[in-house]
Amino acid sequence: MPVTGSESDGAARPPVVSDRRARRVAERRDRVYGAAVELFIERGFDSTTMDEIAERADVARASVFNYYQRKVAFLDEWSARRRRRAFSAVDTGPHDDRDVRQVLVLYMIELARISESTRVETVAVMGAAIHSTDVLGDPPLARALAPIIIRAKLNGELRAGVDAEQAALLVATGYFATLAAWINADPAPFRLEAALLQMLELTFGGILNERNETRRASSSEPTVVGQGRAAAPAERIRLVE
């Protein structure tokens, strides 16, 4: 049966309406998010209420809770947006042939640039995140970095036996520790980019020089009698005493 013009128009219209509705929802959500960040900067996270966020965004209080069920959800969103922005700048696709060091260096440089260009916001929001959320418990940043490091392990870039997920956690916690030190003083006590790159180098290379590692490997380690294993540092001290 031929499709009439009105039926054809009707069939094509729902996606357009749906797209328009989705855009309105996204715009309203962004407005709520922007209002929250503005208030966190002006009044502090703890002093800002959901009612005030609703008033600043010019939406109903229920709308705020519809998008963000808890106030800490704004902090999670803030961090997620920064991660996406940094990853977008690095653009790690499936055919990216850069090694893990290059990718992580570029990623940390971009994170540093974002924070340094918005220091007031970073101090207010990241400071709240450190005190109000468990940033070190299971950080989303570590989960975001894990695929990059896992791919590097599969490509043979990591030492044998390295746990890729633990390595991602080390980088993430190093990032948070460095950022925390950077926001806790005013003016900024150091260049964030340089400090993050130094943190990466420590993660990649460790803290012991090659000569010390060679000497340790060639020396005979004392063992605890009857256990057949290398003595732990504390046990070595007791053996000497």
Amino acid at the residue 44:
G
d(CA 22, CA 155): 41
Who wins on pLDDT, 103 or 5? 103
Q: Give pLDDT, residue 142.
A: 95
Judge contact between 119 and 188, C-beta under 8 A: yes
CATH 3.40.50.300 for the 16-69 domain, yes or no = no
Tell me if 83 sits within 8 A of 129, measured CB to CB.
no
Mean pLDDT calculated for residue range 10-23: 67
Q: How many CA atoms lie within 13 A of 169 on its CB side?
A: 9
Q: Which of 68, 123, 72, 101 is nearest to 202 (CA)?
A: 101
Q: What is the pLDDT of residue 234?
A: 41
What confidence tens digit (pLDDT) does each residue in 74-127 have? 999 999 999 999 999 887 666 578 899 999 999 999 999 999 999 999 999 999
Fold of 77-218: Tetracycline Repressor; domain 2 (1.10.357)
- Rounded CA-CA distance 101/107 in Å is 10
Contact between residue 60 and residue 54 where contact means Cβ atoms under 8 Å apart = yes
Q: Mean pLDDT lowest for which of 88-102, 132-146, 164-178?
A: 88-102
Phi, psi of 123 (to 5 degrees): -60, -45
- 16-69 and 77-218: identical CATH topology: no
Contact 165, 153 (CB under 8 A): no
Query: Mean pLDDT, the chain, as a whole number?
Result: 84
Per-residue confidence band for 15, with pLDDT thresholds at 50, 70 and 90: low
| Strand ranges for 82-227 from DSSP E | none
Residue spans per domain, the chain: 16-69, 77-218
| Token pair listed for 12 | 């094509």
Phi-psi region of 206 (alpha: psi -120 to 50; beta: other; left: phi over 0): left
**Structure confidence at residue 226 (pLDDT):** 44
Cα–Cα nearest to 171, from 207, 194, 146: 146
Task: Give the C-alpha distances (Å, rounded to integers) separating 203 from 32, 38, 50, 156, 210.
Answer: 38, 35, 40, 17, 15
Indicate the residue type of 218: S
Please report, for residues 166, 208, 211, 221, the alpha-carbon distance to residue 134 in angstroms, rounded to integers and kept in the order given: 17, 31, 39, 39
Using alpha carbons, list the distances in angstroms from residue 77 to 19, 32, 34, 61, 125: 23, 12, 11, 19, 11
- 75 in Cβ contact with 132 (< 8 Å): yes
Average pLDDT over residues 172-194: 96
